[in-house]
Amino acid sequence: MGMAYLAALARQAGHEAAGVEGVFLGSPKAVARRVAELAPDVVGTSVRTQERFVGLEMIRQIRRALPEAFIVVGGPHFSQTAEDAMAVATEIDAVVVGEGERTFMELLERLPGREGLDQVNGLVFRNADGQVVRNPPREPMPDISHLPVPAYDLFPISEYVYPMIDREATPIIGVMTSRGCPQSCVFCANSLDRKVRFLDPAVAVDQIEWLGRTFGVTGLGVWDDDFLASNRHATAFCEELLRRNCKVTWWTGARPAKLDAEVLKLMLRAGCKCISFGVETGTDEVLRAAGKNTTTAQIRQAMEVAGRIGFQRVNTFLIIGLPGETTDTIDRTIAFVKSLKPLLGSAWYRETDIGQLPLVYPGTELAVMARAQDRLPKDFSWNRPYLEPKRHLPLVNHRYQTVPHYENPHLPLETICAHLKKHHWGALSRGRRRRFRLASLRRLKVAVGLR
Ligand code: B12
Ligand code: SF4
């Protein structure tokens, strides 16, 4: 969505823009080939931390194919690791830190001669002497309603699917009716502003109607960090959907704190079928240590309301091993999660996943703690090859083994795995139990360097 916003603005300013969906092209080489065919003057890209090595390889391939192009990167990973990324990947000409719209547009204005780049707030760039220069930060835009509709037409939107209800893959396009989140959860890598800014509900619904008219989109992910950050905004958005008789099914996420049943009922009437709650853990002490600013009582109340009024699916995200966790809090968390099940009835999502370990993302409080506790190697760089040393453990997700795991100094990851296996086997999903069964094979593969 970030790239689509930037492309829309670039087009509005008279530039030609094209989109390449790297995920579907299969390899960095294939992406570079496609980009080279388009022969752009400027290439912009964004990666998540877990995809950073593939992303950096893609950037190298693009540079090889287009030696003269200006390569600029952004998004949560590069925003938090700008200088490090530019030191490791000399192919990168600039990093846009944080919210990208204004910085990117000011950059484009200066690109023909590459002059005055030091005037662009929010930019980290390589100057004519090859030195990396960080400009002052960019203030987030106070008003996001004036932005054009993201240029979704540049991307293969019919290919974007997500299992919203059950495991059925529903074509889904993301929209955001707000940006930012004022909370400070220790594991969160939110690189946009902490101040919440809301899209005018009429503008948000214009976008949704346009998606319906132009592409036949009927499924939406409302990707706000906390859709219920403001009941007033959530109410206005739902009322606008209903007033315009917008027939869309949507999914969203919210903090399970002080929920208003009337707002949830309205969401349901306006097409929201599925809601995800960042529960994370089931004891008040770990909630506090994780900076969650919620209580178990609030979480229980949220589940009770969501279950009672009839959401089709309620997801609860959980993390085991956050700061302050002990085997006792694990036991209480699992008991707590089980006690939520009857409140949700058929909306209980069977994959409510116990056994997700905390991952360390750049710019998070957890990253600061991991460094202070020597969990990361002394010469650790976010953009140089890294493999989680404990990737042989069954709960280390094989997709995320290049992302460091946080390890509570009093509760090693091995202890968490052994404790869950011994005491909570029945609470683990089939996939996780399978990983336990394959653990010795995995250990062997790691030992002989196959992983
Ligand atoms: C929707 C969402 C998802 C969805 C869909 C993702 C998708 N297909 O795009 C789902 C549920 C699938 C998902 C999954 C995950 N997600 Co997610 N997700 C988000 C969320 C809420 C919104 C993303 C978005 O579209 N934002 C809106 C746009 C406008 O913002 P933006 O992308 O940041 O772009 C702006 C700037 O960053 C900048 N910019 C971005 N790119 C570029 C490029 C250039 C060239 C320039 C100039 C500027 C620029 O300009 C843009 C406009 O201002 C973000 C949180 C957030 N608020 O952004 C997390 C977030 C991106 N997710 C995150 C994570 C960790 C995950 C998971 C790993 C979680 C997990 N443990 O499984 C998975 C992995 C998914 C995967 N395989 O990649 C982290 C990423 C941290 C990191 N360092 O990489 C975030 C930041 C959440 C957080 N606060 O910690 N996610
Ligand atoms: S509530 Fe969600 S978006 Fe906000 S800081 Fe916590 S995890 Fe991040």
Tens of pLDDT along 177-230? 999 999 999 999 985 578 899 999 999 999 999 999 999 898 999 999 999 999
Nearest protein CA to atom 32 of ligand 1, as residue: 2
Q: Please give the distance of CA 422 from its chain centroid, rounded to a whole number.
A: 32
Q: Is the CB of 185 under 6 A from ligand 2?
A: yes
The ligand 2 atom at the shortest distance from the C-alpha of residue 225 is 3
The CATH number that applies at residue 112 is 3.40.50.280
CA nearest ligand 2 atom 8, residue:
188
Counting as low any pLDDT under 50, the low residues of the chain are none
Angle among Cα 203, 207, 76 to the nearest 5 degrees reads 95
Q: Looking at ligand 2, which atom is closest to the CA of residue 189?
A: 8
Assigned domain for 96 exists: yes
Which ligand gives the minimal distance to the CA of 276? 1
Residue among 155, 92, 102, 170 at smallest CA distance from 125: 92
Answer yes or no: is 369 within a domain. no
Atom 6 in ligand 2: which residue has the minimum CA distance?
A: 185
Give the DSSP H or E segment for 415: helix 413-423
Decide: 181 in ligand 2 pocket, CB within 6 A. Answer: yes
Using an 8 Å Cβ cutoff, are 271 and 309 in contact?
A: no
Compute the distance between CA of residue 450 and CA of residue 446 in angstroms, rounded to an integer. Answer: 6
| pLDDT, position 192 | 58
Cα of 443 from ligand 2 centre, angstroms: 34
Residue 244 located in a structural domain: no
> Nearest bound ligand to CA 293?
2
The identity of residue 165, as a single letter, is: I
The alpha carbon of residue 37 and the mean position of all alpha carbons in its chain are separated, in whole angstroms, by 30
pLDDT at 191: 55
Q: Using alpha carbons only, how large is the chain's radius of gyration in Å? A: 23
Domain that holds residue 53: 2-134
Q: Is the C-beta atom of 255 inside 6 A of ligand 2?
A: yes
Q: Report the distance separating Cα 204 and Cα 209, nearest Å.
A: 9
Decide if 94 is inside a domain: yes
Angle at 218 between CA 150 and CA 171, to 5 degrees: 80
Contacts of 429 (CB under 8 A, 6+ apart): 351, 353, 354, 355
Q: How far is the CA of 49 from the centre of ligand 1 (A)?
A: 10
| Dist CA 108 CA 136 (whole Å) | 18
Into how many domains does the chain fold?
Answer: 1
Q: Can you give the pTM of this predicted structure?
A: 0.96
Determine if ligand 2 sits within 6 Å of the CB of residue 249: no
pLDDT at 297: 97
Instruction: Choose one of 191, 193, 225, 292 to mutate for the ligand 2 pocket test, by most ligand atoms within 8 angstroms of C-beta.
Output: 225
Nearest CA to ligand 2 atom 1: 183
Q: Is 201 touching ligand 1 by the criterion CB < 6 Å?
A: no
Distance CA 308, CA 423 (A): 31
Could you tell me if residue 71 is inside a domain?
A: yes
Would 159 be classed as within a structural domain?
no
Tell whether 83 is covered by a domain: yes
Distance in Å, CA 299 to ligand 1 centroid: 25
Return the DSSP state at 199.
Answer: -
Task: List beta partners, residue 16.
Answer: none
Specify if 304 maps to a domain.
Answer: no
Give the closest residue to 362 by CA, choosing from 353, 371, 354: 371
What ligand has the least distance to the C-alpha of 278?
2
Q: How far is ligand 1, taken at its centre, from the CA of residue 153, in Å? A: 20
Closest C-alpha among 250, 252, 256, 297 to residue 269: 250
183 CA closest ligand 2 atom index: 5
